[in-house]
Structure formats: structure tokens, C-alpha cells
């Protein structure tokens, strides 16, 4: 009885130590990526290649989702605002919710599942097929050659994708609100411009998306680099990437929002 209890407590302790140890390794990995970023900037085509696979290939899902999220916001917002006779504020509702929250967060969630999982699977497979060990044998630093370009490629892509998401969303809201339902176009845009502040809203949204980009990419890279070199290990690491980075995005979003929009 006592023995079983002690064994349980020991299990909790072991798991805690494992988690903390893993976080330490991840932080060390993060610092290493920064320290080894120099060569990838000198060979910028490596980063361009990664911007292509992380950013350009995510364009379609981001643009289409942005458009539909904006259109749904337009419909739902109109339904509610109409009750108060304030349907001219539709532009404000659509643009503020997109620029402040939905743009960065939903784009980051899509990015995590579209590009983050691809990064993890790619690096995990490279490790499983011993390509990374081969690089080390040839005295090529795998962090500088494989990891750092992917990091910067994804970090550069993320804010651009979030901005495109928000812009498409506003256009979607315009399509539904003004073109379809018939809210006055002048007050739609003018109320939006009066309410949305560049520094307070747009810039903070961009900052959010940069932070999310760093978080997603470092999680994806670390999970891939740390994955057991088996088929099962890579598949688990990919799943963990999506789950962990989605949770990280939502948690970070709360913290950032609490700092940015406190009492403004």
C-alpha cells in the first residue's frame, strides 16, 4: 500500500524531471539556432527556399480561410448589430476582431498545422534516414544548414500570412456586408478607419504574429530534431508539434492581449 503510493509519487517526480529537462534542451536548442543563423543569412537562397515551402505553399489555405472567416463575421455581426440599429458599425466589428485576434491567431493555428507539421516530419525523417548524421560526418553543421534556414523562413512568412489573412477577412466582411446585404459602403469604411488605430491595433497584431511564428517554428524544429528515429517516433512528434504549438499560440495570445489591450 505504502510502497504503491511511493511508487506513484516517484512516477510524478520522474515525469516532472523529464518535462523540465526537455524544456531545458529546447531552450538550449533555441539559443543554438540563433548562434548558428549567420551562415544561412550569408547563403540567403536557403532561407528563400524555406519561405517558399512554409509561406508560399500555405498561401491558398490562409487566403481562403481568411475570406470565409471574414464573410462569416460579416453575416453574424450584421445579425447582432441589426438588433441595435448599429449595422454601420459592421466594419468596425469585422476589422477589429480580425486585426487584433482572429488574424494572428487563426493564421498561426493554420500555419502550425500546415507548415509546422511539415517541418517536424521533414527533419524527423532526415534524422530517421540518417541524413543528419551524414552531415555531421562531413563536418557540415546540421543546425546551420538544415534548422536555421527553416527557422528564419517560417518566422519571416508568419507575419505576412497573418496580414494577408486579416486583409482577406476585411474584404470578405465587405463582400457580405456591403455588396450582399447592403450596408452603406461609406460608413462601413469610415467607421472602420475611425476605430482602428495603426499602432494600437495593426502593429500589435503584427507583433503577435511574429511571436506566434517564433513559437510555432521552434516547437516544430525541436520536435523534429528530438524525434526518435523511427516511423512511429516521427508520427508522434508531428502530432505533438500541432498540439503543443496550438496550445502555445492560445496561451501566448492571452498573455500578449493582457499586456497590449489593458485598459486602452
Which spans of this chain sit near other proteins (rule: CB under 8 A)?
Answer: 45, 48-49, 51-52, 55-56, 59, 95, 99, 157, 159-161, 163-164, 166-168, 170, 189, 192-194, 196-198, 201-202, 205-206
What is the nearest approach in angstroms of other proteins to the Cβ of residue 205?
8
Of residues 35 and 56, the one with the C-beta less far from other proteins: 56
Of 83 and 138, which has the nearer Cβ to other proteins? 83
Q: Minimum distance from CB of 81 to other proteins (Å)? A: 13
| Distance in angstroms (rounded) separating the CA atoms of residues 1 and 140 | 55
CB closer to other proteins, 21 vs 52: 52
Q: How far is the CB of 71 from other proteins (least distance, A)?
A: 16
Q: How far is CA 137 from the centre of its chain?
A: 34
Q: How far is the CB of 217 from other proteins (least distance, A)?
A: 17
Phi, psi of 58 (to 5 degrees): -90, -5
Nearest-angstrom CA–CA distance, 64 and 13? 46
CA 5 to CA 1: how far, in whole Å?
6
Nearest to other proteins of 56, 247 (CB atom): 56
Dump the DSSP string for 2-55.
HHHHHHHHHHHHHHHHHHHHHHHHHHHHHHHHHHT-HHHHHSHHHHHHHHHHHT
The x, y and z cell numbers of residue 165, run together, are: 489573412
Q: In this complex, which beta carbon is closest to other proteins, that of residue 46 or of residue 147?
A: 46
**At its nearest, how many Å lie between other proteins and the CB of residue 199?**
9
At a CB cut-off of 8 Å and minimum separation 6, what does 170 contact? 70, 94, 95, 98, 192
Amino acid at each position: 500500500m505504502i510502497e504503491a503510493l511511493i511508487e506513484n509519487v516517484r512516477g510524478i517526480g520522474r515525469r516532472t524531471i523529464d518535462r523540465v529537462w526537455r524544456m531545458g534542451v529546447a531552450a538550449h536548442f533555441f539559443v543554438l539556432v540563433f548562434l548558428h543563423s549567420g551562415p544561412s543569412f550569408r547563403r540567403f537562397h536557403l532561407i528563400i527556399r524555406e519561405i517558399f515551402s512554409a509561406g508560399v505553399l500555405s498561401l491558398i489555405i490562409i487566403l481562403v480561410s481568411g475570406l470565409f472567416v471574414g464573410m462569416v463575421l460579416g453575416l453574424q455581426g450584421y445579425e447582432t448589430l441589426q438588433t441595435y440599429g448599429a449595422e454601420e458599425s459592421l466594419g468596425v466589428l469585422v476589422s477589429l476582431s480580425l486585426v487584433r485576434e482572429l488574424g494572428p491567431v487563426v493564421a498561426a493555428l493554420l500555419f502550425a498545422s500546415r507548415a509546422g507539421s511539415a517541418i517536424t516530419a521533414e527533419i524527423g525523417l532526415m534524422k530517421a534516414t540518417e541524413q543528419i548524421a551524414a552531415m555531421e560526418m562531413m563536418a557540415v553543421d546540421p543546425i546551420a544548414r538544415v534548422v536555421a534556414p527553416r527557422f528564419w523562413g517560417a518566422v519571416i512568412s508568419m507575419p505576412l500570412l497573418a496580414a494577408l489573412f486579416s486583409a482577406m477577412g476585411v474584404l470578405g466582411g465587405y463582400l457580405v456586408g456591403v455588396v450582399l446585404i447592403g450596408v452603406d459602403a461609406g460608413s462601413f469604411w469610415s467607421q472602420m478607419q475611425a476605430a482602428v488605430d495603426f499602432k494600437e491595433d495593426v502593429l500589435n497584431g503584427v507583433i503577435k504574429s511574429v511571436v506566434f511564428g517564433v513559437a510555432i517554428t521552434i516547437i516544430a524544429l525541436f520536435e523534429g530534431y528530438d524525434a526518435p528515429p523511427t516511423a512511429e517516433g516521427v508520427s508522434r512528434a508531428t502530432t505533438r508539434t500541432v498540439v503543443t504549438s496550438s496550445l502555445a499560440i492560445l496561451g501566448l495570445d492571452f498573455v500578449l492581449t493582457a499586456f497590449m489591450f489593458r485598459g486602452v
